[in-house]
C-alpha cells in the first residue's frame, strides 16, 4: 500500500500525472442565502469540505459578484437554490463598452469576496488547496448584458459593434487580472477559471476565436507562475472543446455527460489532467448505487492518474447527502 498522501500531495500528484494513493475528489455547491456574508459563506463551504473530506475546495461566490460593482441591478432569491438575476443590464448600448470604469478591486462586492477568501484561508490553515472562482472576460461581458437574453445581446454587439466590444473586453481583462492578484494576496492558492461561452449554441467558432480565446489566454498567461492550481471549467453543451483543450491550466472540468465531449474524447484531445465524471442529474435524482456506479465508470474511463472525480458543474442544493457520500466512497475504493 502506498503511503497516505496529504490533500496537497494528492492534488499535486494528479496535476503532474503521477501515481496517487487514491483518486482525489472535489464537490461544490452554491449557497445563495449565505453568499452575501463572507463569514457565513466561508463557514458553510468549510462545513461541506469537512463533511465529505474532499481534496480540493472550489469557492462559490454569487455568479454575479464580478458585475455588481459595475452597477448591475440584481434580484436576489429567498432560498439557497434561487439564482440571483441581473434585472437591469450594465451594457445598454454599444458606447457603454468603452465607458466601463476601471474598478477598485479592493472595494465593494469584490472586497466582500476577498474577505471570504481570507476566512477560508484562516479556517484551513494550509491543510487543503482551494480555488477562487474567476470568470473569463467574455463570460463577464455576457453577464454585463443582463440575464436570460444576454447571450443573444452579446453576440449582436460582437457582430454589429466589434470595436466597441473589444474596447470593453480589454477593460474587463485588466480588471480581472488585477483582481486575481488581489485574490492571491488574500490567500487564494489558485483559481477555478469558468467560461459559459465556448459553445456553438451561442456563437461561431470564429467568433469565439476572436472574442473569447485571446482574452482567456492573456488572463491565464498572467496567472502562470503565480497560481499554484488553475482549473478550467467549460460550461454548457455543444462545446468547442478543442478551442480550449490547450489552455495553460492544470485541470479541465466540464459536463462529460451532456456537453458532447466524453471523458474518453477529452483524453484524446488533451494531455491536461481531467476533473469530472459526476452527473448533476444523478447526484440529484439517482440512488446511492447509481452515483457509485457512475463514479466507478468515470474512474475506469479516465484512469486513476491525471484524474479528479468532480461534478459536471455546481451540485444542485437538494442533492441528497447520501449521494455525495457515495461519490466519496467511490474514490475510497481506489486506495492503493
The predicted-structure confidence for 57-70, as pLDDT tens digits, reads as follows: 999 999 999 999 99
CA 307, chain centre distance (Å)? 17
Rounded mean pLDDT of the chain?
A: 96
Residue 147 pLDDT grade (very low, low, confident, very high; cuts 50, 70, 90): low
- Cα distances from 333 to residues 45, 283, 293, 301, in angstroms, run 25, 19, 12, 15
Residue 150 pLDDT grade (very low, low, confident, very high; cuts 50, 70, 90): low
Domain boundaries, the chain: 7-332
Q: Please count the other Cβ atoms lying within 10 Å of the Cβ belonging to residue 201.
A: 11
pLDDT tens, 240-292? 999 999 999 999 999 999 999 999 999 999 999 999 999 999 999 999 999 99
The number of residues in the chain equals 336
Q: What are phi and psi of 59, to 5 degrees?
A: -75, 145
Residue 178 pLDDT grade (very low, low, confident, very high; cuts 50, 70, 90): very high
Arithmetic mean of pLDDT, 225-230: 98
Q: Please count the other Cβ atoms lying within 10 Å of the Cβ belonging to residue 249.
A: 26
Which is it for strands 274-278 and 307-311: parallel, antiparallel or unpaired? Answer: parallel
Cα distance between residue 325 and residue 232, in whole Å: 25
Please state the pTM of the whole predicted model: 0.97
Buried-exposed string 298-321: b where 16+ CB fall within 10 A, e elsewhere: bbebbeeebbbbbbbbbbeeebee
Decide: residue 276, CB within 10 A, 0-12 exposed, 13-18 middle, 19+ buried: buried
7-332 adopts what CATH topology? TIM Barrel (3.20.20)
Amino acid at each position: 500500500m502506498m503511503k497516505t498522501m496529504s490533500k496537497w500531495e494528492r492534488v499535486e500528484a494528479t496535476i503532474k500525472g503521477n501515481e496517487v494513493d487514491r483518486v482525489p475528489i472535489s464537490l461544490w455547491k452554491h449557497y445563495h442565502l449565505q453568499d452575501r456574508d463572507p463569514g457565513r459563506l466561508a463557514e458553510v463551504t468549510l462545513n461541506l469540505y469537512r463533511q465529505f473530506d474532499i481534496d480540493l475546495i472550489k469557492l462559490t461566490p454569487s455568479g454575479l459578484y464580478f458585475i455588481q460593482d459595475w452597477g448591475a441591478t440584481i434580484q436576489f432569491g429567498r432560498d439557497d437554490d434561487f439564482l440571483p438575476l441581473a434585472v437591469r443590464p450594465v451594457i445598454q448600448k454599444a458606447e457603454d463598452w468603452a465607458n466601463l470604469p476601471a474598478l477598485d478591486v479592493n472595494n465593494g462586492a469584490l472586497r466582500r469576496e476577498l474577505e471570504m477568501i481570507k476566512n477560508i484561508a484562516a479556517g484551513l490553515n494550509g491543510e487543503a488547496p482551494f480555488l477562487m472562482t474567476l470568470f473569463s472576460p467574455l463570460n463577464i461581458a455576457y453577464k454585463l448584458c443582463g440575464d436570460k437574453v444576454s447571450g443573444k445581446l452579446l453576440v449582436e454587439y460582437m457582430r454589429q459593434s466589434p470595436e466597441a466590444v473589444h474596447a470593453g473586453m480589454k477593460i474587463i481583462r485588466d480588471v480581472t487580472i488585477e483582481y486575481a492578484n488581489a485574490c492571491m494576496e488574500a490567500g487564494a492558492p489558485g483559481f477555478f477559471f469558468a467560461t459559459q461561452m465556448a459553445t456553438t449554441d451561442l456563437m461561431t467558432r470564429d467568433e469565439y476565436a476572436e472574442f473569447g480565446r485571446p482574452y482567456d489566454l492573456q488572463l491565464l498567461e498572467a496567472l502562470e507562475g503565480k497560481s499554484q492550481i488553475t482549473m478550467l471549467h467549460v460550461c454548457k453543451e455543444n462545446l468547442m472543446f478543442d478551442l480550449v483543450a490547450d489552455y495553460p491550466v492544470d485541470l479541465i472540468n466540464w459536463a462529460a455527460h451532456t456537453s458532447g465531449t466524453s471523458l474518453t474524447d477529452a483524453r484524446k484531445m488533451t494531455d491536461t489532467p481531467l476533473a469530472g465524471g459526476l452527473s448533476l442529474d444523478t447526484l440529484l435524482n439517482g440512488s446511492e448505487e447509481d452515483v457509485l456506479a457512475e463514479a466507478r465508470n468515470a474512474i475506469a474511463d479516465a484512469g486513476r492518474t491525471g484524474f479528479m472525480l468532480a461534478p459536471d458543474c455546481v451540485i444542485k442544493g437538494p442533492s441528497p447527502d447520501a449521494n455525495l457520500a457515495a461519490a466519496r466512497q467511490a474514490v475510497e475504493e481506489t486506495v492503493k
